[in-house]
Amino acid sequence: MHPYNRLPSSGHTSPSPPASPRRSPRLRHTRTKTGRFSQAQPAPRTFAQRLAWIFLSVLLRRQGVFLFAPLIYISGMILYFGTFSFDIVPIITHRPAPGSVYRSPQLYARLLPEMDADNSSVDAPVSKLQFITANGIGDLVRIYHEHGSQNRVPATSDLRLPESNGYLFVEANGGLNQQRISICNAVAVAGYLNATLVIPNFQYHSIWKDPSKFSDIFDEEYFVNTLKNDVRVVEKIPEYLMERFGSNMSNVFNFRIKAWSSIQYYRDVVLPKLLEEQVIRISPFANRLSFDAPPAVQRLRCLANYEALRFSSPILNLSESLVARMRKKSIMNGGKYVSIHLRFEEDMVAFSCCVFDGGKQEKDDMVAARERGWKGKFTKPGRVIRPGAIRINGKCPLTPLEVGLMLRGMGFTKNTSIYLASGKIYDAEKTMAPLREMFPNLHTKETLASEEELAPFKNYSSRMAAIDYTACLHSEVFVTTQGGNFPHFLLGHRRYLYGGHSKTIKPDKRKLALLFDSTTIGWKSLKRQLQSMRSHSDSKAVELKRPIDSIYSFPCPDCMCHANRTDHSKSSSAT
């Protein structure tokens, strides 16, 4: 053998000896008792270990198999879940939101024994109730006759009006009080533009179905005379002017004015056309003038609404008779009675889209009423109606049962005299029964007047509404149950006549929805909540008008804190 030289010679390296062969990890040498080495036998593996070993070897050597991992996982899940049955579907119970369901009948049935046993709200004279004698007001009808003139808007002195700029013809649309808004706004605009106002024409509407004219509802002669020093009012346009339009009013230029337009719009846009044409027409005219207007314009509105508009003699005579009969039937309460404006007619219930007893008959009636009055309005694609949400938001009309429950809880006694102002109540035989049970001394114009007395008015909704309006105007307390022009006008008119001290109850219907939906509330707790609500209504008897408010609901200060017309107010007109 040649010795291994670590230093190179002649510039060349010697080859390294070959590496020793690696020993297999599977082979293990052990020493036997005889001193010889022998190969150890591997421990036997189970089938599961061998399978896992093969699987891991494949994964480590071929990483592309990871692409099939999701498929393997899904297959395993399907195999696993395939052993269970999905035929049984879990039942999820939905609990209605508080106040979304009409449960007033159940509440009434549960509380009726406590209500009847409560001595503090049974057979107590109405005159002893706190809200009747607040501020020492006493009988409102007496105050109307003795002190009503103190709040009247003063008429101007007998001045000669300047030459007219032309004739203004308006068409009043809607029901009684919407027409009233049109008339008052027309007076204000005509006075501001120095125009001659033609007696407004009333449009026939498919809902109210009343063909009445101005003179059928209001005292036309009194209206003209009251306004004679402020606005010229005539019955018709002179013939020589109408000849230019072929004696056809539809040929007269018609302004399509946006709702709540400012008085400046009439000065800048309408007045030039009036001077040019001498006759203009505005149709429709309800709500076409902003609530916020200069004092001179507001004064004309006040004068028209609270002084010039007086019901015609037939309506006024019957209305005064009904007031006298109500006072006579309320002799136990000092001639005082409570009036309620109840809006539970079929069209109101249908329009509200609320659910009450929820029966098939009610559902069919409401669908038919909506289609009859508002074809297609409630069945448009994409329109979703949520009766529960409507009730929670206080938009559902109060039922007769709820009105009675509310008043009894507020402290009105069982012997309180009630005047009910309403149209034809939906399903009256069923819905009115609880209210009559709680207040036996309940009257309507139909029960107070004979058929012969009501005959001239029966087929005219606006005339019938005028009778109710007068009876409510002279009541000790007025209760409104739903929004609309009728209660808004009454609220303002009563404030104007009685110096702001008239009692009006305007309930919080959101709170009522929660109270009447409670399954655990007791009578005493309910009374406490309702009397707190009544006190809040009482505190709102005197309120000052804000710029966005209507003088028809808030006559103070525009209509009640006034002075005679001055040169400054005259200069506020457009010409």
Identity of the highest mean pLDDT range in 82-86, 361-365, 380-384, 539-543: 361-365
pLDDT band at 552 (very low <50, low <70, confident <90, very high): very high
Domain 164-310: assigned CATH number = 3.40.50.11340
Global confidence as pTM: 0.77
Cα 572 to Cα 293: distance, rounded to the nearest angstrom = 11
Which tokens belong to 291?
């609530």
For the chain, helix, strand, coil in percent to 5 are: 45, 10, 45
371 with 420: CB under 8 angstroms?
no
Q: Distance from first CA to last CA of the chain, Å, rounded?
A: 139
pLDDT band at 370 (very low <50, low <70, confident <90, very high): very high
Query: Which region, left, alpha or beta, applies to residue 328 given φ > 0 means left and ψ of -120 to 50 means alpha?
Result: alpha
The stretch 236-256 carries a mean pLDDT of: 93
The stretch 99-105 carries a mean pLDDT of: 94
pLDDT digits (tens, 9 = 90+) for 23-46: 544 444 455 544 454 555 566 778
Share above pLDDT 90 across residues of the chain, in percent, rounded to a whole number: 59
What pLDDT is recorded for position 160? 78
Cα 396 to Cα 349: distance, rounded to the nearest angstrom = 8
pLDDT band at 436 (very low <50, low <70, confident <90, very high): very high
The stretch 225-234 carries a mean pLDDT of: 96
pLDDT band at 119 (very low <50, low <70, confident <90, very high): low
How many helices (H) and strands (E) in the chain? 25, 13
pLDDT of residue 179 exceeding 80, the answer is yes
Domain ranges of the chain: 104-149+312-344+397-538, 164-310, 350-393
C-alpha distances in angstroms, 304 versus 183, 284, 311, 496?
Answer: 8, 19, 13, 13
Question: How many Å is the maximal CA-CA distance in the chain?
Answer: 154
pLDDT digits (tens, 9 = 90+) for 285-316: 888 999 999 999 999 999 999 999 999 999 99
pLDDT band at 169 (very low <50, low <70, confident <90, very high): very high
C-alpha distances in angstroms, 100 versus 354, 509, 518?
Answer: 10, 12, 11
pLDDT of residue 149 exceeding 50, the answer is no
What pLDDT is recorded for position 561? 74
Nearest to 279 by CA among 164, 169, 119: 169
DSSP code for 307: I
What pLDDT is recorded for position 543? 76
Average pLDDT, the chain: 82
What pLDDT is recorded for position 412? 94
Cα 556 to Cα 478: distance, rounded to the nearest angstrom = 19
What pLDDT is recorded for position 208? 67
What pLDDT is recorded for position 87? 54
Find all residues with CB under 8 Å of 58, minimum gap 6, and list them.
Answer: 65
What pLDDT is recorded for position 200? 95
pLDDT band at 100 (very low <50, low <70, confident <90, very high): very high
What pLDDT is recorded for position 123? 40
Gyration radius of the chain over CA positions? 43
What pLDDT is recorded for position 131? 37
What pLDDT is recorded for position 47? 77
- Across-strand partners of 9? 12
Share above pLDDT 70 across residues of the chain, in percent, rounded to a whole number: 76
Asked if residue 284 has a cis previous peptide bond (ω within 30° of 0), the answer is yes
Nearest to 262 by CA among 286, 284, 293: 293
CA torsion, points 168, 171, 177, 181, in degrees to nearest 10? -30
Cα 282 to Cα 370: distance, rounded to the nearest angstrom = 30
pLDDT band at 58 (very low <50, low <70, confident <90, very high): low
pLDDT of residue 115 exceeding 50, the answer is yes
pLDDT digits (tens, 9 = 90+) for 314-362: 999 999 999 999 999 999 889 999 999 999 999 999 999 999 987 899 9
The stretch 153-174 carries a mean pLDDT of: 80
pLDDT of residue 20 exceeding 80, the answer is no
The stretch 501-507 carries a mean pLDDT of: 87
Exposure of 368 in the CB half-sphere (CA atoms within 13 A): 7
Classify 167 as helix, strand or coil: strand
CB atoms inside a 10 Å sphere around CB 367: 13
Environment class of residue 362 by beta-carbon count within 10 Å: exposed (0-12), middle (13-18) or buried (19+)?
Answer: middle
Find all residues with CB under 8 Å of 162, minimum gap 6, and list them.
Answer: 194, 575
